[in-house]
Structure 1
Amino acid sequence: MAKRTWSTIISSAIIIGAGAGGVFWIHQYSADQLQDGGPRLAVVTTKETATTTSKPSSQTTVKKTRKQIIEDSQKKVVTIESSSGLGSGFLYNDQGDVVTNAHVVVGSKEVTIRTLNHEEYKGTVIGIGEETDVAVVRVPDLKKVKPLPIAKSKAETGDEILALGSPLGLENTVTTGIISGVGRSFEIAPYIYSNLYQISAPITHGNSGGPLISAETGEVLGINSAVVEQEGGIGFSIPITSVLKQVQAWSEKPSSSKTAVQTSGSQGAGSNSASLEAEGLVTEFYMNLNLNDYVTAYALLGSEWQSGISYAKFREGYINTSYVTIAEVSSSDKSNDEIEVTAVITADERKDGELITTKYKVTYQVGYENGQLKILHGQGKKVK
């Protein structure tokens, strides 16, 4: 479908980013309930010997129930906690490498990984896309753990699928559906999404980076990445076949020339890791505003700032802002362990029924609070 056809839909599309913002509409099912409806069996090849009417063989086809596929898959799906909030990911090789969305780990070099058994490990971002919303996190403690199998071919419309992840922080959630469309493309700055799967399985905030699994084979078909909340919850997933080569390249040669805390438009004094993290946090703040995810944006503010403005007032202040473009981002270290981030933003705002574009220069103080990077203070003024 042409990109123009999706213009009205994409105005309300959001990347289902880290954090627990948004309306609580995700459907959670138990593994037993998921057996009802749809094909229950999948054919897989194992090395176990089964009793058959044919000659015994060391390579026998054994049927797996959907419940077994879910249970096996959940062991390889993780929750990712970064400076941006919560997201999901999955093991794709035996080196302890986890695939996720770039927007889940943007602004972070080190993240926390939580497994099905609630074990926590440290992970390092070894590769992150600048325009493609994909990243790889290396978790040494998960090395040699058997990964999820990866599909070698693309899915088709009508294929039965399972979406795994941690929507709204609800870990180990599984939803079911079908591939309801293919070839969907659009842009949610700074990421470009091409030839996506459109899925009917409900997904929302926190599902980001989780795997889209074939209900027939248990193979990974895609990476759940975006949702249109205003159209009955239409989800989108990046086909794994379209990004696998890049993912493998990061695993073979972890990124060292670029810091993993990639941001859009970073320049100037923000050349070290701490400054880039601060710039990334400010960029993330405006990205969430553009997605109308005021809950996550508000959560990025420090406690002192939040104590001076309620969430309701904060949301009211941005409800008439249609879109914000951020540019000329730079940063400098302060002696009080804070980093000052400056930027020029262009805001499209609705006033008295008209769309007015206003440019501002904004300055923020960014620092750590209870171990989390926060926007502590800020101010802005109009510029010509």
Structure 2
Amino acid sequence: MSKRIWGTIVSSAIIIGAGAGGVFWIHEQVADELAIAPKLAVASSKGTEKPEASTTSNASIKKTRKQIIEDSQKKVVTIESGEGLGSGFLYNNKGDVITNAHVVEGSKEVTVRTLDHQEYQGIVIGIGEETDIAVVRVPDLVKIEPLPISSTKAEVGDEILALGSPLGFENTVTTGIISGLDRSFEIEPYIYTNLYQISAPITNGNSGGPLINAETGEVLGINSTVVKQEGGIGFSIPITSVLKQVQQWSERSSNAKSVQTARDNSSQTSSADLSEAEGVVADFYSYLSMSDYVSAYALLGSDWQSSTSYAKFREGYTYTSDVTLEKISSMRTAEDELEVSGIIAAEERKDGEYITSRYNVTYQVGYENGQMKILHGQGKKIK
């Protein structure tokens, strides 16, 4: 996808989360609008149980700015992964945390730290390939009240709060306004579109933290990148543009027969093994259906990956838009290997039109380094 060229002043921009790596150049005419806001320290307290994340919060009694900050910080976390340090926030009562993909890239498990400095283990249940969004599930945070999510887009001039852990300084809050709309550019491998430009200062470690409406306390976006010119200008991904994808990841993981986990011990029953094997294959097709080829490829065993590069694997699904697993069954074929069979329906583009084709598929599934993997597979089209 070609980059959008904005203006005449050349600036450098970086991803601002863990690792804060890739640097690229964009053109942008910008105003000197940064205003440094004080860091606010607030006390920790436990969240309360509530239903699934709401899309609006029309409280009968309007909260003060200080109350909004205090309530919000209880649901904002610091995330440590193999890439370094970033931020995230609870968006539902399943213990699911939204963050940036580049914060958790390359990690299946991460450490999540809350306002009261408690540390928990989180599992990456969804990660974008070109969209810089990921979801981490933290079982210990189930039923904790999430941040309310805005159902409308922000406007220029809206007052905002940016929460996160810039440079490792946890529980930091900066203030500002929405200073621009619909900013788009590319920082490989991620494509950013229709971003909010913000005046609230953000930097390395802020990535994945929430951008909050200072008047309502609702999440407007996910802080993601900064242009390094003088004071720096930050950008946030609108929550409305990624919420559907995020919810799909959460729902898929909740409904899956099993999440791929380390094998606890050798006393697992045969039925548990079979159920987990079927769950891995079901997850594989769920990822493919959402075009999350990175996560699907990660479920393949080492032999399969060594014989098929990621690029070749992804290319094989270029003309496939949706895959549905219609039937699945499993059986044990060896002491350390299972066979999963099924029927899938795939929507494939041919001559400019989509047609539905059905296939019989068979996979050999087994453990590698304590995790269930798809070792080999084959499929045959049903005529």
Give the match for residue 5 of structure 2: 4
Would you say the 8 A contact 1:102–1:132 is kept in 2?
yes
Q: Check 1:232–1:112 CA distance in 2 against 1; reply closer, same or farther (3 A cut).
A: same
Q: Name the CA distance, whole Å, in 2 between partners of 1:117 and 1:3.
A: 42
Give the match for residue 73 of structure 1: 72
Q: Name the CA distance, whole Å, in 1 between partners of 2:20 and 2:126.
A: 25
Equivalent of residue 29 in structure 1, options 35, 38, 41: 38
Would you say the 8 A contact 1:100–1:134 is kept in 2?
yes
Deviation at 1:45, TM superposition (A): 4.1
Give the match for residue 113 of structure 2: 114
Deviation at 1:208, TM superposition (A): 0.3
Would you say the 8 A contact 1:19–1:168 is kept in 2?
no
Deviation at 1:230, TM superposition (A): 1.5
Q: Name the CA distance, whole Å, in 1 between partners of 2:214 and 2:92.
A: 20
Deviations 1:9-46 (A, max 9, x none): 4x611110204899xx995624389xxxxxxxxx9644
Deviation at 1:64, TM superposition (A): 1.1
Would you say the 8 A contact 1:80–1:111 is kept in 2?
yes
Q: Name the CA distance, whole Å, in 1 between partners of 2:250 and 2:299.
A: 27
Give the match for residue 243 of structure 1: 242
Give the match for residue 227 of structure 1: 226
* 1:297-336 aligned within 5 A: none
Would you say the 8 A contact 1:133–1:192 is kept in 2?
yes
Is 1:211 the equivalent of 2:207?
Answer: no
Would you say the 8 A contact 2:163–2:171 is kept in 1?
yes
Structure 1 vs Structure 2 CA RMSD = 3.6
2:199 maps to amino acid = S
Deviations 1:164-191 (A, max 9, x none): 0000000000000000000000000000
Give the match for residue 379 of structure 2: none
Deviation at 1:5, TM superposition (A): 1.6
Would you say the 8 A contact 1:82–1:110 is kept in 2?
yes
1:148 maps to amino acid = L
The unaligned stretches of length 5 or more in structure 2 are 23-33, 43-55, 257-282, 306-310, 313-383
SS in 1 for 2:130: coil
Give the match for residue 198 of structure 1: 197
Q: Name the CA distance, whole Å, in 2 between partners of 1:189 and 1:20.
A: 13
Q: Name the CA distance, whole Å, in 2 between partners of 1:115 and 1:164.
A: 13
Aligned length: 251
Deviations 1:206-235 (A, max 9, x none): 000000000010000000000011143100
Deviations 1:313-351 (A, max 9, x none): xxxxxxxxxxxxxx99xxxxxxxxxxxxxxxxxxxxxxx
TM-score, normalised to structure 2's length?
0.59
Deviations 1:348-376 (A, max 9, x none): xxxxxxxxxxxxxxxxxxxxxxxxxxxxx
Q: Name the CA distance, whole Å, in 1 between partners of 2:111 and 2:57.
A: 33
Q: Name the CA distance, whole Å, in 2 between partners of 1:158 and 1:27.
A: 17
Q: Check 1:253–1:97 CA distance in 2 against 1; reply closer, same or farther (3 A cut).
A: same
Give the match for residue 15 of structure 1: 15
TM-score, normalised to structure 1's length?
0.59
Q: Name the CA distance, whole Å, in 1 between partners of 2:91 and 2:150.
A: 11
Q: Which portions of structure 1, spanning 4 or more consecutive aligned residues, are displaced by more than 6 angstroms?
A: none
Would you say the 8 A contact 1:20–1:169 is kept in 2?
no
Give the match for residue 129 of structure 2: 130
SS in 2 for 1:152: coil
Give the match for residue 178 of structure 1: 177
Would you say the 8 A contact 1:44–1:62 is kept in 2?
no
1:29 maps to amino acid = P
Q: Name the CA distance, whole Å, in 2 between partners of 1:72 and 1:231.
A: 33
Q: Check 1:113–1:272 CA distance in 2 against 1; reply closer, same or farther (3 A cut).
A: farther
Q: Name the CA distance, whole Å, in 1 between partners of 2:111 and 2:134.
A: 15
Would you say the 8 A contact 2:35–2:201 is kept in 1?
yes
Q: Name the CA distance, whole Å, in 1 between partners of 2:153 and 2:185.
A: 19
SS in 2 for 1:225: strand
Deviation at 1:63, TM superposition (A): 2.2
Give the match for residue 94 of structure 2: 95
Deviation at 1:3, TM superposition (A): 1.4
Q: Name the CA distance, whole Å, in 2 between partners of 1:72 and 1:216.
A: 13
Deviation at 1:240, TM superposition (A): 0.1
